[in-house]
Amino acid sequence: MKRVALLGSPVAHSLSPVIQNTAFRVAGLDWCYEAIETDAEGLEPAIQRMRAEVWPGANVTIPLKEAVMPLLDELDPSAVEVSAVNTVVNEGGHLVGHNTDSSGFMRDLRALWRVPAQGLAVILGAGGAARAVAAGLARQGLELVLIARSPGRAGMLAEDIRRTHAAEVGVLPWIGESFAQVPDHCVLIVNATPLGTAPADQDMPWPVEVPLPPGAVVYDLVYTPKETRFRQYARQSGLQSIPGGGMLLEQGALSYERWTGRCAPRRQMRAALRRALERLDA
């Protein structure tokens, strides 16, 4: 049996094993996908193990999407654009880093909302997921504002997006005044932080005392619980809100296609994800 792994911390909550193992089973592949709790110190040994045991590939999640880059042999243009890797493909011992997060996010967003060719989008966070979202929205032509707890990371992300996409990118600190400064003409707010993930599902990345922009769509990358507190707040404010499960599915399908060279069975993967989310909410 061939092994594919999810490396990161925390990973116990991840539903990636559900959708990937479903895909392998549907395709008749004798492969197994498992989540392996991996911190920064354990990342290099995990990559060495991947080489030694000839894993077909791996996914990489927080907080390792940038740290894994120097451990690989080559970076696909998708990873260079985002400066983050979420998918590693083992090409006969030659490890290539890809990023399927950005394309996965945009595929899901376009399926659920007519994305405008211009406008202001606010991204909460500045980690690897925020990088993927920022690259996708900048390709679309949107102006960006980053609100992040780490000014240094946010500044570096803003510089990268300005350089690679010639986009307008502003940076605000993670304080109440910043959220209040978001203009009413904002069209999209994306939570690219883990805030609100179960079991800490009462956390919210947006202060409850600050109204959401009246015309914005809210996209929360957090998918457990099925409806986060942030999405509830958006719904109660009369706004469209989109869960992160669709992005999880799309980036996972793209990863599967890179590992196997086959089209992903999206219908069965989506059904498996839906059942898993229903069990969590039961």
Could you give the residue numbers annotated as active site?
Answer: 65
Tokens for 228, please give them.
């986060």
Angle at 203 between CA 201 and CA 206, to 5 degrees: 130
DSSP 64: -
Helical (H) or strand (E) element with 273: helix 266-281
Report helix, strand or coil for 262. Answer: coil
DSSP 211: P
Is residue 166 packed enough to be buried (19+ CB in 10 Å), middle (13-18) or exposed (0-12)? exposed
Torsion of CA 44, 46, 48, 53, to 10 degrees: -170
